[in-house]
Homo-oligomer: A and B are copies of this chain.
Amino acid sequence: MSNRSRVTIREVAERVGVHPSTVSRVLNPVTRGRITPEVVDKVITVANELGYRPNQAARGLRTNRTSTIGVLIPDITNPLFPPIIRGIEDGLGANGYTAILGNTDNIVSREMDAVATMRARQVDGLILATARRDDPLIAEFLKDRLPVVLVNRTADADGVSSIVNDDVLGISLAVRHLKELGHRRIAHIAGPQTLSTGNARREGFLSVMGAKELLSEQKLVVETNAFSEDEGLRAAAQLISDGQEFTAIVAANDLLALGAYEAIADAGLSCPGDISVTGFNDMPFVDRLSPPLTTIRIPHYELGREAARRLIELIETPDSPARATTLRPELIVRGSTAEV
């Protein structure tokens, strides 16, 4: 037995000459008021002297609350997620909560494992950045009355709170920008339709392009099955080799746009000279590419922080209603878009 965290509430009590529960009351801000100021002082002094540190595990066992929440993300090395996580941690930390993270790689079995671990650790709630539109986990959490907030991606199910970017607005910002530059035939590299982001951006694209153009544009929408550079390359290459006429590509995210850059170069064309390209996310360093990428900036940090706040609200006010919140994205014009 090492001496880390050896000193308990009882030892403090003995040293001060009071009962352990008195010490407990002093240490809890809510109950501190009921104790004589001098006793409060003495307890605090002695606790500090002894290096007392409350044992969260013991407290959690008693109170049935751990102040720990679980966060499921696809992969922390995807540059999209660090700012979201940072936002979550800052939002939680300010309220005494701590996060445990699980990387799922979008693999269902890993997701199950991560959830099992988190529930064994008695998390008070969960934040999911991994939601698929038809995610089965969500129903399970709702049934068990385990507080959940979805972040970044939402799901089709209702009754669940979510904090996401306004994808439709974001796409319309990109399309309107291109239209102002004179573009008329605009292609879309759509993300996976199983994810709310991929789906909403595609729907947004179709809707903002307008009914008149819609029919003629349908060949100009290519779906991908992952938000990856490879898939962007494949989709853009297909668009080009199809012989479709278009002067711009709205990609459903930055990685897809990067793939489009490659396809354009491979075809001996230039961006933005021949084809303008827009991305989505404003990942780090896309301002340093050549050409610098015109894209839609999502307030990732704020997304995370809001998700944390919402979850805490849900935990501390169990019957607060589910709400779907969208945050406003912003158009960032750089060098990958030009006049026709």
Contact = CB atoms under 8 A, between A and B. Distances in A.
Interface of A: 1-5, 53-58, 60-61, 64, 66, 68, 75-77, 79, 81-83, 85-86, 89-90, 93, 98-103, 116-117, 119-122, 144-146, 258, 284-286, 288-290, 318
Contacts of A75: 86
Nearest to A118: B98
A56 B144 contact: no
A4 B53 contact: no
A130 to B, nearest CB: 15
Query: Which 9 pairs between the two chains have the least Cβ-Cβ distance?
Result: A2-B145, A285-B285, A77-B82, A290-B290, A57-B60, A76-B82, A57-B57, A56-B121, A4-B144
B76 A98 contact: no
Contacts of A76: 76, 82, 85-86, 89
A120 B55 contact: yes
* Stoichiometry, copies per complex: 2
Contact of A54 (B93, B98, B120, B144): B120
Contacts of A290: 290
Nearest to A2: B145
Nearest to A71: B101
A23 to B, nearest CB: 16
B60 A4 contact: no
Contact of A145 (B4, B53, B64): B4
Contacts of A3: 144-145
Contact of A120 (B2, B56, B101): B56
Contacts of A56: 120-122
